[in-house]
Chains A and B, each alone.
Chain A
């Protein structure tokens, strides 16, 4: 039967060219959407590595022309007094890059001269506790680092996995980024840019490693007890304004920031999903229309086949298989084009997501084609040869 249908569909190839093209285009769009979707779903499902819930960010303006001792002293006073605000659980100073906003890159190398590129994040000794960071090994910055020979740094698991895949431990290794730094710990995950960002190699630098007169760290993250983020905003604002004698104090909710940071991926994903859905509906309606028309044109053939001994089930199967054959031809052509993307490494998205996309798009198209073909095919199977063979 299949050989017979292949011959039949080959002979009708001109009539089927448009539906083949439509399925091909739908496959290519679906493939792209699925690959993009799977890739971002994978990223979304990988852990951020820190807690943002119940936390607020704070940007303040320290008075100018303070020396380093005065700056450190004022920062300590601000933090100490913030901790006294009812509902505040922890607070930390960070550099100019804060979670869900901005990025900073450094190029460096390890003590064997192996080059590496890493994101940089400046934070004080309270950051790990404030953000609930999970350490793979070692420890976070503490007071003892002030007197150590090397500036301490921590790296994230992604850096260790990418640049030191065979290493059991990185603690006490030397990293050369703007001078020699000693690794004192490895943070399991820290995907700070958004849920959809890459878990890329990252190095934590202590805020104390920089000259505070040049880089007066003026950003904080403050963690409140559950449900108290809104309640702490006003007292913290008043407190910081009074200490710094400056009204330019900005407080924001980190949960809102996360949503904003995710938007550049979520919005196109939703738009693409909507476009794909409309495309699929269009294809489904097109297939319905084409099949109903074909069945009307082929009533005599259906009657003839039934007169020759075809059962209703065989007629249904024939029409479903005919459409599936056209769909298969379109999908084979589509797969040929689609596999070029991972094979030629046209994007930085890992190849596996494109292969998942190909499989998912094939399944979706075949399912829609099967469903759309089933109803008209059953209608065809119900035609009575005595009626249709005498219509000519």
Chain B
């Protein structure tokens, strides 16, 4: 599902070049739930951003869902992100001025799905994460765990093949974190969605199929 070959990423200022990722090669088969761990600044989020096409590698090639990404222009990458990828962030990134159901509809908006169908799919996604009764609420009326469930509903509403989760339980207490992890595991097992999750929590990582550890921009295990 995801193939990275010799991916490197460096950030350059006038005086310093920082290597965030060095010659990363890895493969994530379809249906796998992969977790990535490592100390802060080791390149986990950079790797996830590159997989999510919201950052570009300095060198190397990548294949996502069987498609070679090199040479995609901005519009093609936007379309690919919309159709193939779902994102979950540590700080949820919900739009506070939109209701829960409107937040969930967001990816479908850019897929030009009709209003009624958008609403149906969004309610379906909310039901899957157990938040049907909160559809009309606004994010600031929800707990942290509920916000992350809304974010998961938003990530799955477009039925993407890959979900990229950047520390999805990082801002939650352990009980809420477990609930979120249960939902992700269920998505992976029931629908077969490929999930790549960055985490600092060893306990959460152990629940996934495979763990990749990074250090200083390199894969160490």
Contacts and interface: CB of A to CB of B under 8 A. Distances in A.
Nearest to A310: B110
Contact of B55 (A11, A300, A314, A386): A386
Contacts of B132: none
Contacts, number: 72
A49 interface: no
B115 A309 contact: no
A308 interface: yes
A309 B78 contact: yes
Contact of B82 (A304, A309, A384, A390): A309
B54 A308 contact: no
Contacts of A311: 74-75, 78, 110
Contacts of B97: 8, 11-12
B55 to A, nearest CB: 4
Contact of A308 (B74, B102, B107, B115): B107
A309 B107 contact: yes
Interface in A259-279: none
Contacts of A306: 54, 78
A248 interface: no
Nearest to A318: B109
Interface residues of A, number: 26
Interface string A309-340: 11110100000000000000000000000000
A123 B115 CA distance: 76
Interface in A1-55: 1, 3-4, 7-8, 11-12
A333 B2 CA distance: 54
Nearest to B84: A309
Interface stretch (B62-70, B85-93, B176-184, B205-213): B85-93
Interface of A: 1, 3-4, 7-8, 11-12, 300-301, 303-312, 314, 384-386, 389-390, 392
14 contacts: A4-B105, A8-B97, A8-B102, A11-B97, A11-B138, A300-B91, A301-B93, A304-B89, A305-B110, A307-B52, A307-B54, A384-B55, A389-B89, A392-B91
